[in-house]
């Protein structure tokens, strides 16, 4: 088994090794000759399809929401009237779906319209069992389904700053490589089908914790008299920083969580899947368990359609603080410090 840090160019690879890393070094074949379908044009799907267009692919896409299809057309892709139309037009298809029901509908469309030899990359965060059912159904018609969840937010997807956790048929992953390179900066081949979802849930456990710890750190800085924007700039560059601190910190400081790149309501699905895997594996996860009530509170406070950076607002409610309450808290800190100085003089 190769180390996860192994680098190799996709065009030089005859078959991916488990755990290997492929950087986006450029498509291995003329992309203008490749038709790519995208079923699901939400936050992630629309960003991926736009980047595929920019990379030179002919992109066909479908989403039940008319505005999403209009965005694809504006980006230079071809919106279709149904998922079946996408299946008929494309040999390589990306699925970016919100639910098991949506996956079942997409499978039905693929079975009815896709040709034998079509390769489908399922990039959604969905139960492994649902993906396994879909894999078996599609295989009966000669269609290869790959389990390929993504690491990265919607904002990162816009700039092609995604990593693919590719699992399943090695030959299929190799053939799909140029498409992955069209919307992601890196691909990790993690082995058997389903390993992609497991790796995704491991990563998302950390995302859940780091997102909340980012909010705690910024709140502490603000209430102790520090400029929140300076806290993000300085801490992100040091040992205490994390990718979530870099991505979500500015959103918390600017209070711009109304512009969601990962909705709290959608994130709840991921939290449940992480919890299910923890239970199934009897894994102790006290930090994750501590996070769960905070995300539930975000839903209760009406932040369902907002970005998960809204946990900062939850902490404010827990402290009974207004957005400007930090100034009073900072004044209290300074007063306590002065009192201690006098007492020790």
- Number of helices (H), then strands (E), in the chain: 14, 11
Beta bridge partners of 188: 21, 165
Alpha carbons 255 and 8: distance in angstroms, whole number: 41
Residue 13 has pLDDT above 90, yes or no: no
pLDDT the model gives residue 11: 33
Is the pLDDT reported for residue 251 higher than 60? yes
pLDDT at 22: 59
Residue 269 clears pLDDT 90, i.e. is over it? yes
- 55-102 pLDDT, tens per residue? 999 999 999 999 999 999 999 999 999 999 999 999 999 999 999 999
β-bridge mates for residue 166, sequence order: 189
Residues 96 and 236: their CA atoms lie apart, in Å, by 30
The CA distance from 17 to 9, in Å, is 12
Domain span(s) for CATH 1.10.1040.10 in the chain: 198-327
Q: Is the pLDDT of residue 6 over 80?
A: no
CATH number of 198-327: 1.10.1040.10
Q: Please tell me which residue, 7 or 232, carries the higher pLDDT value.
A: 232
Which of helix, strand or coil describes residue 118?
A: coil
End-to-end Cα separation, the chain, in angstroms: 64
Grade residue 10 by pLDDT with cuts at 50, 70 and 90: very low
Q: Name every residue whose Cβ is closer than 8 Å to that of residue 132 and which is 6 or more positions away in sequence.
A: 193, 194
Confidence check: pLDDT of 202 > 60: yes
Tally of residues, the chain: 345
Q: How far is CA 186 from the centre of its chain?
A: 14
Where in the chain are all domains bearing CATH 3.40.50.720?
7-191
d(CA 172, CA 135): 13
Determine the average pLDDT of the residues in 250-274.
96
In the chain, what percentage of residues exceed pLDDT 70? 84
Q: Flag the least confident range among 105-109, 175-179, 297-301, 341-345.
A: 341-345
> 224-252 burial string, b = 16+ CB within 10 Å, else e?
eebebeebbeebbeeeebbbbbebbbbbb
Q: Which stretch of 4-18, 34-48, 205-219 has the lowest confidence by average pLDDT?
A: 4-18
Structure confidence at residue 234 (pLDDT): 97
The yes-or-no verdict on residue 148 having pLDDT over 70 is yes
Which H or E element spans position 37? Answer: strand 35-39
Which pLDDT does position 333 carry in this prediction? 58
Q: pTM, whole model, 2 decimals?
A: 0.85
**CATH code, residues 7-191:** 3.40.50.720
Examine the pLDDT at 26 and tell me if it is beyond 90. no
DSSP letter assigned to residue 32: G
Are the C-beta atoms of residues 83 and 106 closer than 8 Å to each other? yes
The confidence band for 321, taking pLDDT boundaries of 50, 70 and 90, is confident
Q: Residue 33: what pLDDT?
A: 76
């Amino acid at each position: 088994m190769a180390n996860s840090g192994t680098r190799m160019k996709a065009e030089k690879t005859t078959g991916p090794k488990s755990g290997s890393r492929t950087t986006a070094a450029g498509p291995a074949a003329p992309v203008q000759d490749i038709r790519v379908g995208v079923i699901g044009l939400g936050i992630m799907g629309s960003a991926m399809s736009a980047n595929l267009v920019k990379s030179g692919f002919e992109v066909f896409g479908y989403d039940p929401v008319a505005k999403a299809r209009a965005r694809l057309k504006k980006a230079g892709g071809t919106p279709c009237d149904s998922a079946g139309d996408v299946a008929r037009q494309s040999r390589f298809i990306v699925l970016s779906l919100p639910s098991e029901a949506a996956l079942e509908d997409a499978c039905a469309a693929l079975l009815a319209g896709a040709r034998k030899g079509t390769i489908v990359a399922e990039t959604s965060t969905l139960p492994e069992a649902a993906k396994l059912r879909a894999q078996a159904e599609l295989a009966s018609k000669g269609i290869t389904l790959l389990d390929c969840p993504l690491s990265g937010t919607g904002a990162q997807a816009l700039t092609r700053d995604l990593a693919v956790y590719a699992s399943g048929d090695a030959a299929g992953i190799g053939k799909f490589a140029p498409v992955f390179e069209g919307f992601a900066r890196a691909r990790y081949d993690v082995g058997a089908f389903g390993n992609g979802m497991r790796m995704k849930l491991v990563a998302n456990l950390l995302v859940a914790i780091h997102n909340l710890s980012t909010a705690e750190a910024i709140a502490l800085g603000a209430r102790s008299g520090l400029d929140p924007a300076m806290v993000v700039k300085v801490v992100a560059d040091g040992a205490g920083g994390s990718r979530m601190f870099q991505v979500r910190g500015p959103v918390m400081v600017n209070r711009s969580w109304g512009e969601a790149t990962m909705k709290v309501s959608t994130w709840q699905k991921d939290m449940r899947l992480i919890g299910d895997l923890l239970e199934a594996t009897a894994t102790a996860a006290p930090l994750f368990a501590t996070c769960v009530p905070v995300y539930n509170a975000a839903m209760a406070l009406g932040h369902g359609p907002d970005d998960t950076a809204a946990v900062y607002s939850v902490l404010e409610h827990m402290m009974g603080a207004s957005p400007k309450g930090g100034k009073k808290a900072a004044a209290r800190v300074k007063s306590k410090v002065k009192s201690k100085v006098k007492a020790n003089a």
